[in-house]
Structure 1
Amino acid sequence: MAGHSKWANIQHRKGRQDAARSKMFSKFSKEITVAAKMGDPDPDKNPRLRLAVKEAKSQSMPKDNIERAIKKAIGGDADAYEEIRYEGYGPNGVAVIVETMTDNRNRTASNVRSIFAKNGGNLGETGSVGFMFDRMGQIVYPAKIGSVDAVMEAAIDAGASDVESSDDEHVIWCEFEDVNEVSTALEAALGESESTKLVWKPQTTTELDLDGMQKLMKLIDALEDDDDVQTVTANFEASDAVMEQL
């Protein structure tokens, strides 16, 4: 079991601070609709939909919005979205994975390529940086939920593979195919999580100074601002001093 992860903390804090609420809800709605369309519209019978609804609720998305997104799939009037992953390098050689959901692959490819080029990055081929990340389930609880030992014990019993605890939170990791079972077991032991989702966890990270972080954040912000982009992940880390100056 590993110690404190700056990467997880930075990613979590960044998302909370910078995500524009309406845009964030729009991305959640798209994921919920696609998940409901691909499987059963009942979250209890559809693991992907259950995860999407859970994550939307954790970010305070209104219940009406969630139900509307599911009904859109049931009604058959949902747009036909294609999921495409883009990979490339940002400033200072930081590896970046961009997950998109689009109804126009040419538009999305053009936009993503342009954003990389304008912000000191290079879009690569699929697989060019993916091998540097592991697809994992990430379950986050606030630190107040329990002691490090109590959370560690609950995580082990639930079948998790790793726990990283800090003063702010407990980040519990599991194999991506086990996320529903592990999160359900953790809910029974610890209650509702703060966040449960599938993420790309970097195997190694690149340490950035203030200038490097500012350049990378410009790229990430531009990507996240695109309506077709669902998630952006990069293998960077920075000291607390650098983060405070951002």
Structure 2
Amino acid sequence: MASNRRLEGRVAIVVGAGSSGPGWTTGKASAVLCAREGAQVVVADVDPRAAEETAEIIRLEGGRVLAVPCDATDAVQVERLAAETVSAFKRIDILIDTLSLPVEGRVVDVSAEDWQKAFAVNLSAAVTAMKAVIPVMAANGGGSIVNVSSIASHVATGPALAAFAASKAALNQVGRAAAIEHAGSKIRVNTVVPGFLKTGSSPCGAAKPGAVPLGDVGDAWDVAYAALYLASSEARFVTGIELVVDGGVTLKCG
């Protein structure tokens, strides 16, 4: 695959970079793409085997990679992740958080436990990761943070996804807040907002015929390339945005 080496010399942490099944998830694709673009990559996932599988792809392609098992909802493990990254590669330039837990249920049906779980994975884990890496980025003169949200944070996508939608909407707003709070440290914070995806686990469900103006659903690589742009110096003047990657779906129902 052709590469412009847009991340040459950078160190990137990708949270949720494993895959629970066959095929490509957004985290797995993002980690491999960062490596192909020259970054030294830290692959973080709650499943050690999944993290190692992604890391092995990067190694076989000649990239430098470190696999770190990490439950991103545990602040102690996330601090360890940041510390191991600095120990191995001396810096942190990029953080890409791809975690997504599609908890289902209407407002009147979703349990308190599921509600808390949705916010723990979809929001609090990203905040915890940002808190761990921002001081390191600031000390190094800047960095880029990319969080992955969902169009469910913008519009009703069909299924009963109250907790998922609310947690991802909160993630969008946290991205805006962090962007303005840390702009002075040259740390950019942006959000990718995917629509229907061929990942096998799209929280928005399956697209109905004709639902996508561009005529197809997206895949993990569409999200990964959006994250790559926001992580790269090509987006040096871009912060606090939500980059929607949905084939035009929200133009129809937004």
The structure whose RCO (Cα within 8 Å, separation 6+) is larger is: 1
Point out the structure with the larger strand share: 1
How does the TM-score come out when normalised to structure 1?
0.28
TM-score, structure 2 normalization: 0.27
User: Which protein has the bigger helix share?
Assistant: 1
